[in-house]
Structure 1
Amino acid sequence: MSLVVDLRCLQDVNYRKRGIGQHALSLLRQAPGPVTGIIDPAMPPLPGDMSALVAELSPHAYISGAKLFLNPCPFGPNQAALARLLTAPGVTKAACVYDFIPFDDQATYLADDAARLDYFTALAWLKRYDVLLPISAPTEARQRELFGMRPSVVTGVALPGWIYDIAPQKPRHILTISGNDPRKNPEQLAAAHAASPVLRRLPLVITGWLAPERAARLRSISGVELPGAVSDEAMRSLYAQAYAVVTPSRAEGFSLPVMEACAAGVPSIASDIPAHRALLPIEFLFPLDDPAALAHRLEDVLARREAVVQAQSGLWREFSEEQVAAKVFAALLPKPALARGAKPRIAMLTPMSPEKTGIAAYSAACAAELGKLARLDVFAGNAVSTLPYANGKYDAVLSVIGNSPLHERIYDNSLRWGSAALCHDARLMGLLHPRAAALASAELGRVVTEREIAAWAADESQRAACFLGELAAARPLIFHERHSVALVRERFGVAARYLRFAMQRQFPPMDKQAARAALGIPMAQKLVVSFGFVTRGKGIPAALAALALLKGRVDIKLVFAGEDASQTENFRALARELGIADAVQFGTGFLPEALYRLWLAAADAGLQLREGLPGNISAALQDCIGAGLPSVASADLAENLSAPAYIKRVSDKPDPREIASALEDVLTAPPETEEARLAYCAAHSMAVYAAELLELLLP
């Protein structure tokens, strides 16, 4: 049984100590198998003794592998947060239904627009459940009047553990368990107490918090004791010393005090309403708004107290925690199997063309293969919204995350609604820059200033935070390199998943002579190409220094094939200073696919360097591998791609002499690449990748 339970009612102090919270907690204690609990990170944390009852806590309703969903509080706030589970056809959904009192008394409980909107929204969501679990037969009857015939099981409510084994003491008082809700109606009992000479001789204890004006009104009716809200231990003592327990409510879904009294060996009488008729024989009921009738019934019960205790002694036994939970969990049906041959439905949210980014290109290649295995809907640009996240028709939702503002809406929706996340970057400081200092402070457990953030931006190697903490809530969180998997486990305690980076392109044999003719590069000259944005983090100063060391030994041209960045003029000045300005070309602008392939075909070697912390992926380096182009690359880039031997590794801290030596080896004695290239392309094909991705999305 793969069970998900909404635990937000246990975070809310307004529910936790009430019957709803206690019912939820009793079911949680008896749940079969591991439970995933849904919480709201914006609410107070779940108490430790409660969180210990679940295997995992999720800040959203995107939970891979969910088969059963139980909502113990379907009329709580923000039911829309559960939309994904409630619209998922493969998840069996059950809701505990307590009563429809607010619907039946809207003047009292739904007097303002906000309350009405919340309640009727929750009422609409209730139609999404496969089975309803009313706590009493009267609640089920009203449910059917409102919703028609629906699968439904009456469960009752478990008595609290503290009510058992109460040792009787000398009776002292009449007891009622009340509160400030107007339907609790303690005024009728106070009036009956005041009108009866027999009852007036006994103290009347009314527990529960009461507003000062209501407490004053009760004291004006009769001499009452008002201890307020009391502890469980104090409640045991009050029950032990009670002549009788009276429950005069005008409306209830169930009524725990009625059964608590029976379990404690105390006579129990109650108002003649549907919920009480389902619990007590009619001889122990009294009419509403008739204090004289209540007094008469209570006097009669007190006169034959022992006989009443005996008559009521077995009424409570079906409401043990174990018996109630057994009814609830027996009502949950197994998840229907996916029809044979049916493809799962996947939503993928990602930048796509015309965005000129590596992630957009990668997602396009991935979607082409994933679409062969699943019914795939891709949402990009203005189509990115909350709807795919909240739509349970999707068996999985995949958010593609990168370190740029292009991913902002995808990232925010993933955090709010939950999803699987495929993170292309080992750090997200660029995406989260407006909140970078606060996020880094939380991650590192110390104050991080804006000045420190600026220093990290200027020198990636100094960055101490990864900014992946929020994204760690994704289920699953997927990376293309193992460093981030280990980092997320170490810092955030989350078991992220590794998926090896796939080939985006196929490279048939290419004509080097034709490519060079098209680009105007003589065949005699050695051509080294570095692909990607021309930025400081690409080790460009070290690459230029290496080129200077090779000057005079090898006729070489170094081309940085990609779009210029702000530091390009500084790089040109350095090239002039090193005396190699005529041997280097900075920036070609954005390369259309055909021109990109020409540069790969024309090159004698690739050069892909990266400065900073580990965990980087280079799609350009993988294209060099796929094209069979011998290359020199930073060790981290090469290892993260499991690069074959014709990719020479150099230190992640660029050393011009090491780079020059590696380039000279590659250029003067080019290695054979074809056999290794074919093996690599087969193992890293996008078709293999798509199948492995689908397995991660649908565990």
Structure 2
Amino acid sequence: MMRILYDASRLMSRAERSAPTGVDRVCLAYAEWLLSRPDVVTLPVRGRKNRLVAVQPEWFRDFVVDLRARWSGAGVAPADVAHEALLLEALAAPARPAESVISPPPPPEREKPADKGRVLKQFFKSRHVAPLPAADLYLNVGHTTLHQADALRDLEAAGVERVVLIHDLIPITHPEFCRPGDGAKHHARVTHALRHASRVIVNSAYTRDELRAFAAREGLPQPPVHVAHLGLEPAFVAGDAVATSRPYFVHVGTIEARKNLALLLTLWRRLEERLGERTPSLVLVGRYGWENEAVLDHLQRSPNLRGIVHQAANLSDEVLARLMRGARAVLAPSSVEGFDLPAVEAVAMGRPLIASDIPPHRELTPQAELIDPLDGLGWLAAIERATMTSPPAASEGRAAPSWEAHFDIVARAVGLAAASPLAGGAKGG
């Protein structure tokens, strides 16, 4: 029986969210995997003042089940359900709607749902818990708490194995796409992981290569690195599509500078000038991120895009998957990625993918139409071709990367038996 300290800091901080980011999905999948294994005692922890404190296991098990239900579409907030309905109605309209469907901005902190308070109560209770229980291994897959080395050093001194998942090095390699200070913070995270982790998991060969290059530049140790492609949720493997009378395209991802959405919106203005009422719709699915002003200005102020470009922040997995299946193509024009889960999902569903010609897309989605992210004319031509041709029939798609395969790699790396498939929900202890 292996006793594993699972760092739940990031997952617990997402309590109020009705839709996950890609990293959030990974954190939840790992929690469910650990809780489903009969050969693992899962000991949830979270960071507090540069140290780790225990989280009540029974509370955490219920929290994981609740979070899975919410992110899968159960108990979606009425406002989000209404927004989904408006979006689907706009896409199904035979003519261009008068207005775009745009998600409201995120609420101020004081207006966030009560679930946040529930988690903060658990944080407060953690002040009074006993020292961390004895464990064999510490697992951090959310980056949170790694910017301080104290916890990793303490675990190292206690003889506990330390396993860290690095999602990307974007704040280090491309700081221009990140908030001020994020580069230095992520530099500290990756440095501490390389110095103190027993081994590192990465989501792609590209991330592995970037990690090794960083270690070489900085003169840092290089612990064993294991490449394990991320798995897909069941909703993105098989299911129905949204039925519409007019063509549309979808982009999935946080609305931020590195996603290259300003390019897409500029192209959609040109499409509208050329095609008029025949212009396809564009749906941007994602929360507002950093440096989104250019995108918001386009959405709110451009008459050419009104009723054509829509934005949705909190779609359930079921609605998002249906939306992707009905699109003429999924668009992924990012300037840089570590993995790009939505692009992999599109290919697994057998949907056309037009993506930027960057290393992760070449590695993970080679069958996509790959175009340089700076080649505006190339992107315009590809979108016009997809618009003018008949809707493609759903293909079988590429074999979807599975969480079972991912966790087999992780299990072997940490000394667990590989043959323990991920259960449908959190259970066990």
Q: TM-score, normalised by structure 2?
A: 0.66
Secondary structure of 2:223's aligned partner: coil
2:340 paired with 1:255: yes
2:134 corresponds in structure 1 to 65
Identity of aligned residues (%): 24
CA distance in structure 1 between the aligned counterparts of 2:130 and 2:168, rounded to whole angstroms: 25
Partner of 1:306: 392
Contact 1:61 1:82 in 2 (8 A): no
Structure 1 residue 182, shift from structure 2 partner:
0.7
CA distance in 2, matches of 1:297, 1:8: 42
Match of 1:376 in 2: none
Deviation at 1:266, TM superposition (A): 2.1
Matched residues in 1 for 2:158 and 2:208: separation? Answer: 24
- CA distance in 2: counterparts of 1:129 and 1:61, whole angstroms: 25
Instruction: Measure how far apart 1:93 and its partner are.
Output: 1.6
| Residue-by-residue CA offset, 1:319-352 (whole Å, 9 max, x unaligned) | 2222222222221147xxxxxxxxxxxxxxxxxx
Match of 1:165 among 232, 238, 256: 238
Q: Structure 2: any 5+ residue segments left out of the alignment?
A: 68-122, 217-221, 417-429
* Structure 2 residue identity aligned to 1:147: A
- 1:39 corresponds to 2:46: yes
What do the CA deviations read for 1:65-108 (whole angstroms, capped 9, x no partner)? 31122111235565445235542363222111111000012344
Find the structure with the greater CA-based Rg: 1
Q: How does 1:384-395 map to 2 (within 5 A)?
A: none
Instruction: Work out the CA distance in 2 between the residues paired with 1:225 and 1:209.
Output: 15
Q: Given the alignment of the two structures, is residue 229 of structure 1 paired with residue 293 of structure 2, yes or no?
A: no
Match of 1:182 in 2: 257
**Residue from 126, 139, 154 that aligns with 2:193:** 126
Gaps of 5+ in 1: 335-699
Cα distance between partner residues in 2 of 1:178 and 1:52: 24
After TM superposition, list the pairs within 5 Å mapping 1:274-673 onto structure 2: 274-281=359-366, 284-301=369-386, 303=389, 306=392, 309-310=394-395, 313-315=397-399, 317=400, 319-333=401-415
1:259-270 pair list within 5 angstroms:
259-270=344-355
CA distance in 2, matches of 1:198, 1:155: 44
CA contact (8 A) 1:191 1:222 kept: no
Residue 75 (structure 2) aligns with: none
Tell me if the contact between 1:62 and 1:85 (Cα under 8 Å) persists in the aligned partners: no
**Residues matched between the structures, number:** 326
Where does residue 49 of structure 1 map in the other structure? 63
**In 2: Cα distance, 1:203 partner to 1:131 partner:** 45
Question: Is the Cα–Cα contact under 8 Å of residues 184 and 250 in structure 1 kept in the other structure?
Answer: yes
User: Does the CA-based 8 Å contact 1:135-1:253 persist in structure 2?
Assistant: yes
* CA pair 110-192 structure 1, distance change in 2 beyond 3 A: closer
Corresponding residue number in structure 2 for 1:153: 226
Are the structure 2 counterparts of residues 40 and 146 from structure 1 closer, same or farther at C-alpha, using a change threshold of 3 Å?
closer
SS at match of 2:328: strand
2:209 is equivalent to residue 141 of structure 1? yes
The separation in 2 between residues aligned to 1:141 and 1:61, in whole angstroms, is 41
Q: Bigger relative contact order, structure 1 or 2, given CA contacts below 8 A and separation 6+?
A: 2
C-alpha separation between the residues in 2 aligned to 1:15 and 1:131? 32
Q: Structure 1 residues 213 and 274, CA, compared in 2 at 3 Å: closer, same or farther?
A: closer
Letter in 2 for 1:179: T
Counterparts of 1:61 and 1:107, CA distance in 2 = 43
Q: 1:249 & 1:15 partners in 2: Cα distance?
A: 27
The 8 Å contact of residues 155 and 162 in structure 2, kept in 1 or not, is answered as yes
Q: Is the 2:248–2:281 contact (alpha carbons within 8 Å) kept by the matching residues of 1?
A: yes
CA contact (8 A) 1:62 1:84 kept: no
Q: Which amino acid aligns with 2:260?
A: N
Q: State the distance in 2 between where 1:331 and 1:247 align.
A: 32
What RMSD, in angstroms, separates the aligned Cα atoms of the two structures?
3.5
In 1, the alpha carbon distance for the partners of 2:26 and 2:177 equals: 25
Give the corresponding residue for 1:397: none
Q: CA deviation at 1:247?
A: 0.8
Aligned pair in 2 of structure 1 residues 47, 187: CA closer, same or farther (>3 Å)?
A: farther
Change beyond 3 A, Cα 1:18–1:27 = same
Distance 1:214 1:194, change over 3 A: closer
What amino acid is aligned across from residue 154 of structure 1 in structure 2?
Answer: V
